[in-house]
Amino acid sequence: MDTVGEAMAVIAEEAERQGFQVRQTRSAMWHFRKGSDNWIFAPRSTLDVVDALSMLISAGLDWK
């Protein structure tokens, strides 16, 4: 797994622990769900990972 994939796997694990529903829909595509909100990330760079994380934090993910 590349760095982007590894980072997303860590985020997915923590999000799942905090009650998000997480599914890896393809090898490089991640589906996060909480209530009516659905996010699907296809990150290609570290900037995309940071973007994904900041969106999840805005949605209530506790990341410290």
| Interface contacts to another protein, rule CB under 8 A | 25-26, 29, 31, 36-45, 47-48, 51-52, 54-55, 58
Q: What are phi and psi of 27, to 5 degrees?
A: -60, -35
From the CB of 1, what's the least distance to another protein, in Å? 18
Name the residue type at position 7: A
Q: How crowded is residue 2: how many other Cβ atoms within 10 Å of its Cβ?
A: 8
Q: Which is nearer to another protein, 51 or 62 (CB)?
A: 51
Q: Which is nearer to another protein, 18 or 54 (CB)?
A: 54
